[in-house]
A and B are shown apart, each in its own frame.
Chain A
Amino acid sequence: MASALASVRADLRVVTRVWLFTMKIFLISDFFILTAVVQPIIFASIAFFLFRIGGDAAGEQTLLFAALGTGMMGVWSTTLFGGGGAIAWQRWEGTLELLVGAPRRYDLTLLGQTLGTATFGFYSMIATLAWGVLLFGMPLEANFPLMLPLALLAAVLGLGVMGMLLATTFVLYRHANALSNLLEYPVWIATGMIVPLALLPGWLGPISWVLVPTWGVEAIRGAAIGAEPPWLAIGMNLVLALVYYVLARRILVYVMEKARRDATLSLA
């Protein structure tokens, strides 16, 4: 019993250390500063101007709707590029073999890395909210303020685990960055981040349900400007996080076994 507890504690330590380390690395990365701060501010400005032309198309809290949506777009971009390239970067930097060969489970290292990526992505939410308040006079208020931390935590967890799934699948494709370039806009569309899903073709609905960013933005928006507490969205974030983790772990085991068998672990 004591050894099992010690093992869990050690696993958690790996995840938290890697999580912190990833955040520190991203803080000095030009690319991720651009993705998590600069790009969301530019997209938020575009959205603010457009909604201003249209005269608050999304209702009374249009600016907050736009700020949260564009912030979440930044979170997705960071997760996509950071998670999608996670294993590939370790390969280029020559640390993949060391991490895979270490006594600790590699999936925990990867989980810490992608959770760190998703957490870093939430800078974009702060950036777009601050931008909206300072430059566009956006009122900052939440209908369910106590639910906001819970919604954020669920969204980080969901997106972090989705990043892990991206990392394990993208590694099968030689040009992971190209896939990341491709998938940025479609997920912004399909998850209703800034344009309500009700206005898009009906066949996008089922696709959006299995994408965790849909529920992430729904949870945060629900807590901030929703009419009811976003319990369903928070629950869906957690359920999908679990499903994604199981899938990611299975794929990771397969990929790693194949790479070891073919001796291609360090070959890009």
Chain B
Amino acid sequence: MSVATLPAPGVPSHPGSLRANWRVFWHGGRISYAALFNWAHPSIYIPTLLGAPTFQILFFAALGSYATGMDPAFFAIGNAVQVCSMAGIYGMTMAVANERWFGTLPAILASPASRAALFGGRFIPFIVNGLLVSAYGFALGWVVLGVRFDVATLGIIVLAMVVTAFSCSAIGAVQGGLSLRLRDGLFGANLLVFLFLLFCGVNIPLSALPEWMQVVSQVLPFTHGLEAVRQAIDGAGLAEVGGLIATEAFIGLCYAVAAFFLFRWLERSAYRNATLDSR
């Protein structure tokens, strides 16, 4: 009797190699989006990430113009940008916290994959997602609420939007990291989305807020990005809004780094206390 010879398994890339990191970053990010983002299915995505923003924009345009007499376009722009934070914050919270919920966290953490690649790859789908939702919001504002801008400034608006979507995803990643320890991660995510509405100049011009709220708004992501979008729509060039975009990018980066170290710290703490998949 002869024994069939099994083919030798393919030699995987070294976990630390650039190729392996790229695979974890790119494919891992895509797979985690498909697997962990509860709202990816059209029957949830459409009502939650397109339907709800539609009515949010209409609601604040109606309330804002009634209460203040200001142009509805001001509120339409603020909320069209703000809705990108929904995808980033909720999405990144789910992208990290759902690993624990679905019981896949131990397998992920036991793998030798680079944590930076693992973590960073999860941002991309939610940045793209946020941009799509905001683009839809702007289109709605254009059709219904009189939002107008010079096509020449479109590039600057898109740049500011990309940076804003990144920084919102970054604070979502912080919340996701915290969710590795908390019982209900979406509580903080909901709170963040509401706080953006109040603090970041979405509906209330920053100058109308009390001083302490203006200080808080400066350290939150979103505030500078939104201001850059507003100024670009008013015709400002890159020279004028470049500083705002850079500040937004810096704040986003700070949150992303904080999220990464928080994730690492909670990972080690979970190993130490045997709380990796406790709920």
Binding site for B on A (CB under 8 A): 30-31, 34, 38-39, 42-43, 45-47, 49-54, 57-58, 174-175, 177-179, 181-182, 184-186, 188-189, 194-196, 199-200
Contacts and interface: CB of A to CB of B under 8 A. Distances in A.
Contacts of A179: 47
Given A31-B187, A53-B67, A178-B39, 8 more contacts: A30-B183, A42-B195, A47-B63, A50-B68, A57-B68, A57-B69, A185-B58, A189-B58
Interface in B33-66: 39, 41, 43-44, 47-48, 51-52, 55-56, 58-59, 62-64, 66
A178 B55 contact: no
Contact of B59 (A42, A177, A189): A189
Nearest to B52: A181
Nearest to A200: B62
Contacts, number: 95
Contacts of B198: 42, 45-46
B182 to A, nearest CB: 9
A42 B197 contact: yes
Given A42-B198, A182-B48, A51 B67 contact: yes
A128 to B, nearest CB: 14
Contacts of B64: 50
State the main secondary structure of chain A at its contact with B.
helix
Given A51-B67, A178-B48, A195-B63, A186 B191 contact: no
8 contacts: A31-B184, A52-B208, A53-B67, A179-B47, A181-B48, A182-B55, A185-B52, A195-B66
A50 B63 contact: yes
Interface of B: 39, 41, 43-44, 47-48, 51-52, 55-56, 58-59, 62-64, 66-70, 183-184, 186-187, 190-191, 194-195, 197-198, 203-205, 208-209
A51 B66 CA distance: 9
B91 to A, nearest CB: 14
Contacts of A57: 66-69
A42 B213 CA distance: 13
Contacts of A43: 194
Contacts of B187: 30-31, 34
A34 B191 contact: yes
A186 B55 contact: yes
Contacts of A50: 63-64, 67-68, 203-204
Contact of A39 (B39, B55, B186, B194): B194
| A30, A34, A178, A184: most-surrounded residue (chain B CB, <10 A) | A178
